[in-house]
Amino acid sequence: MYSMMTNPNASSITYPSQFPVDRTSLLPYYSQITENLRKRIELGELKPGDQLPGEPELCRSYQVSRTVIRQALQELTYEGLIVRRKGKGTFVAQPKISEGFIQSINGLYSDMRERGQVLTSKVLVQTLRPASIAVAGALNIPFNTPVIEIQRLRYIQNDPLVLVIGFFPVDLCSSLLQADLRFQSLYEFLEKNANLVIDHTHSMIEATSARFEEAELLQVEVGSPLLKLQAVSYLADGRPVEYYTAMHRGDRSRFEITTSRNNLVSQNPGGE
């Protein structure tokens, strides 16, 4: 028997020293091992944060070559079920957080609240600054016009999920400079304190990789996959009220997309 290595908060898990790979099956060895580990994860025998044994130990357990083990682990990595951390080992991945992409314009805070998740924010920057060319263009204001910049690191259960950098026109949103946004929705604040209601959002999403500062804040390795969302939010009269970039951890985030024959307008998963 051997005991699975686990994180400090995970329970110890014990498994037989040998998994009966069916050597007469047409199913490749790595597929059988992948399915075995996948089932253990799905059944909760292997929990988020648990560390898998190293490759040599897995080879002995399954009685296969290291090449086969690496193929199996690679499959599970592609599926997002495990993460491999250089110099540390292989761990069962934390479950991904689903975020509505089109079905809601209430923003990430309200979306998570409706799903029973507690979202908190650490405000990194909350200040005035001159609008860059990109910000000025997005907000339809002259270059160098003062805008409010707010940078927030947003957490689910104390784990960083997304870094959001937003810009807001001062003439519409001056109250944001004094707002406490750690435990409340930015959109709800704007609605209650400035009578501003977001009507629609134009969003673009792309895959990217974490640079040093993003990796440090999101607690991932440099080069880790991120989902980059850029969006402009508008009032009903067409005035832009927010331009933001949200960097979502690729290992913890996924977007749910709803399409409609009559309404294909992208909404707002992360901006508020």
pTM score of the predicted model = 0.63
Answer for the pair 50, 76: CB distance below 8 angstroms, yes or no.
Answer: no
pLDDT above 80 for 269 = no
Q: Which domains does the chain have, with CATH numbers?
A: 2-92 (1.10.10.10), 97-256 (3.40.1410.10)
Cβ pair 75, 34 in contact under 8 A = yes
Strands 253-256 and 97-100: parallel
Q: Render pLDDT for 127-154 as a digit per residue (tens, 0 to 9).
A: 999 999 989 999 999 999 999 999 999 9
More confident residue, 80 or 132: 132
List the one residue out of 220, 215, 175 whose CA is nearest residue 194: 175
Q: List residues bridging with 14 in a β-sheet.
A: 3
Q: State percent of the chain over pLDDT 70.
A: 78
Between residues 67 and 6, the one the model is more confident about:
67
Find the range with the poorest average confidence among 23-27, 128-132, 198-202, 257-261: 257-261
Q: Which residue has the higher pLDDT, 4 or 145?
A: 145
Q: pLDDT for 26-78, tens place per residue?
A: 888 988 899 889 888 888 888 888 999 999 999 988 889 999 999 999 888 87
52 within 8 A of 92, measured Cβ to Cβ: yes
Return the structure tokens found at 73. 């682990």
Termini Cα distance of the chain: 50
Report pLDDT digits (tens) over 148-181.
999 999 988 788 989 999 999 999 999 999 999 9
Residue 237's pLDDT is 94
- What tokens appear for 154 in the block? 């947003």
- pLDDT (0 to 100) of residue 96: 62
Q: In the prediction, which pLDDT does 245 show?
A: 93
Report whether pLDDT(7) > 80: no
